Amino acid sequence: MKDLRRRLLAGLAFGFIVLLALTFLGDARQVAQRLAGFAWPIMPLALGCTLVNYALRFLKWHFYLRQIGAGELPWRESLRLFIGGFPLAVTPGKIGEVLKAVWLKQRTGVPVLRGTAVVLAERISDGLAVLGLSALGVLAYPRYAPAFGAALAALVGIVALSQIRPIALGVLGTVERIERLRRFTSGLRELYEGSYAVFRPRATLMAVALGTVSWLSEGIGFYLILLGLDVRAGWETAGKAVFILSFATVVGAVSTLPGGLGAAEGTIAGMLAAVLSLPV
Distance CA 120, CA 118 (A): 5
Please provide residue 136's backbone torsions phi and psi, each rounded to the nearest 5 degrees.
Answer: -65, -35
Provide the whole-model pTM: 0.85
Q: In what helix (H) or strand (E) does residue 41 lie, and over which residues does it extend?
A: none
What tens digit of pLDDT does each residue of 94-143 get? 777 888 999 999 999 999 999 999 999 999 999 999 999 999 899 988 99
| CA distances in angstroms from 73 to 58, 77, 84, 96, 267, listed in the order given | 13, 7, 15, 22, 38
Per residue, the 3-state secondary structure of 233-277, as one string, reads: CCHHHHHHHHHHHHHHHHHHHHCCCECCCCHHHHHHHHHHHHHCC
What tens digit of pLDDT does each residue of 224-272 get? 999 998 899 999 999 999 999 999 988 877 766 555 556 777 788 888 8
Distance CA 175, CA 184 (A): 8
Contacts for 144 with CB less than 8 Å, ≥ 6 apart: 134, 137, 138, 247
For residues 267 and 250, is the Cβ–Cβ distance under 8 A? no
